[in-house]
């Protein structure tokens, strides 16, 4: 019986055509099922976009902060862990480097996921093209994120030495610090500026024996530099009564005028046993920096995460208490736009010189 003009019963050729038609229909059905599945998947993806933007994935963040046994490397390990804790989408890998000078040189050719620590005066030297930096216009692309604990000079004397002021150091044997160290350089500079360099006998002794020499009364004092509270100073305070020499405002002004790498620093009273008054000294500021190749979004996330973890950092290392919003002024370089956005949102006053 005809159906739609076609016979119900067909010969061999018709049966073959019928089988082919069934196969085609199956293929069509599979194609339709596949299309439906793909359509559902696309709808799910549009409703729940991926956490990371595939077009702009967050780069791997490498942090360079000196040799593995250096103070800055240890501090970088601490702030990298804190940043990752504050924002689990961020991963910071701290890598050993040749130091602050090399970090700045490397910054000229690294990608946007590069963070490094250095002293701000070295960045200024690089921009001027002063040795040891090769001339490179890309130094001007360096931008600041946040400060880290400064390297602070401690001028320690025995409490029974009769030394209460810098002028009292005359004729007293004094250890200025390890050869070529920041403490030694600053001690020599301070004594020179204060007119005491020919009156204070400086003793050249290795760092390991310096503390024993003070406790054993072989010397009247020594210089130590590091982030406070400095464990070596705590140990000395427990071993023998000590005093920290403090610069007067006039002395501080003179010392600062001769060195653009240092800033005034106050060591709060109560930090060390038996020392209740504030100590006015000098320190070399240090900061965490990147370049304009880092995205604003990433710089914002790193900066925000760092400050959100400041209290936890202090709990692990009291030296981080020296890092306050007031320390932003010591960074010496324009803030990254992402960092600046965070500070503005947080209501933190930013000095005009680094905006």
With pLDDT > 70 as the criterion, what percentage of the chain qualifies? 83
The domains found in the chain, sorted by start residue, are 61-148+286-354 (3.40.190.10), 151-284 (3.40.190.10)
User: What pLDDT is recorded for position 59?
Assistant: 67
User: What pLDDT is recorded for position 301?
Assistant: 97
User: What pLDDT is recorded for position 87?
Assistant: 95
User: What pLDDT is recorded for position 52?
Assistant: 38
Is residue 7 scored above 60 in pLDDT?
Answer: no
Is residue 151 scored above 80 in pLDDT?
Answer: yes
- Within 10 A of 291 (CB to CB), how many other CB atoms are there? 22
Per-residue confidence band for 337, with pLDDT thresholds at 50, 70 and 90: very high
In our burial notation (b when 16+ CB lie closer than 10 A, e otherwise), range 236-274 reads bbeeeebbbbbbeeebbeebeeebebbbebebeeebbee
Per-residue confidence band for 34, with pLDDT thresholds at 50, 70 and 90: very low
Is residue 304 scored above 50 in pLDDT?
Answer: yes
Q: 193 — phi, psi (to 5°)?
A: -60, -35
User: What pLDDT is recorded for position 100?
Assistant: 95
Q: If you average pLDDT over residues 131-149, what whole number do you get? A: 97
Per-residue confidence band for 17, with pLDDT thresholds at 50, 70 and 90: very low
The answer, as to whether pTM is greater than 0.85, is no
What CA–CA distance (Å, rounded) separates 86 from 132?
37
User: What pLDDT is recorded for position 271?
Assistant: 95
Is residue 148 scored above 80 in pLDDT?
Answer: yes
pLDDT in tens, 206-260: 878 999 999 999 999 999 999 999 999 999 999 999 999 999 999 999 999 978 8
Is residue 176 scored above 60 in pLDDT?
Answer: yes
Whole-number average pLDDT of the chain: 86
What is the end-to-end Cα distance of the chain in Å, rounded? Answer: 90
**CA distances (Å), 155 to each of 45, 233, 340, in order?**
63, 10, 36
Q: If you average pLDDT over residues 88-108, what whole number do you get? A: 95
What CA–CA distance (Å, rounded) separates 305 from 287?
16
Residue 92 β-bridge partners: 61
User: What pLDDT is recorded for position 78?
Assistant: 97
- Highest mean pLDDT: which range of 7-11, 27-31, 169-173: 169-173
């Amino acid at each position: 019986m005809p159906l739609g003009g076609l016979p119900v019963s067909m010969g061999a050729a018709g049966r073959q055509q019928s089988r082919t038609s069934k196969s085609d229909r199956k293929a069509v059905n599979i194609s339709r099922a596949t299309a439906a599945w793909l359509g559902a998947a696309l709808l799910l993806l549009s409703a729940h976009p991926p956490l990371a933007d595939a077009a702009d994935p967050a780069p791997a963040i490498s942090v360079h902060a000196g040799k593995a046994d250096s103070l800055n490397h240890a501090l970088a390990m601490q702030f990298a862990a804190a940043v990752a804790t504050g924002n689990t989408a961020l991963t910071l890998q701290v890598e050993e480097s040749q130091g602050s000078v090399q970090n700045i040189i490397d910054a000229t050719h690294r990608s946007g996921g590069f963070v490094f620590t250095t002293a701000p005066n070295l960045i200024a030297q690089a921009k001027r093209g002063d040795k040891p930096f090769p001339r490179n216009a890309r130094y001007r692309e360096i931008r600041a994120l946040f400060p880290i604990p400064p390297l602070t000079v401690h001028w320690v004397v025995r409490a029974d030495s009769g030394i209460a002021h810098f002028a009292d150091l005359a004729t007293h044997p004094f250890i200025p610090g390890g050869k070529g160290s920041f403490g030694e350089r600053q001690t020599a500079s301070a004594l020179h500026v204060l007119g005491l360099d020919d009156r204070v006998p400086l003793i050249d002794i290795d760092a390991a024996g310096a503390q024993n020499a003070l406790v054993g009364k072989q010397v009247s004092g020594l210089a130590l530099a590091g982030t406070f509270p400095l464990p070596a100073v705590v140990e000395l305070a427990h071993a023998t009564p000590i005093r920290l020499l403090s610069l007067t405002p006039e002395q501080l002004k003179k010392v600062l005028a001769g060195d653009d790498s240092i800033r005034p620093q106050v060591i709060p009273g109560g930090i060390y046993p038996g020392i209740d008054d504030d100590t006015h000294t000098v320190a070399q500021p240090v900061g965490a920096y990147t370049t304009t190749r880092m995205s604003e979004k990433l710089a914002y996330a790193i900066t925000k995460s760092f400050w959100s973890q400041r209290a936890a950092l202090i709990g692990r290392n009291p030296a981080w208490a020296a890092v306050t919003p007031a320390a932003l002024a010591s960074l010496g370089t324009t803030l990254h736009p992402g960092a600046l956005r965070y500070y503005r949102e947080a209501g933190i006053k930013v000095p005009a010189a680094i905006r």
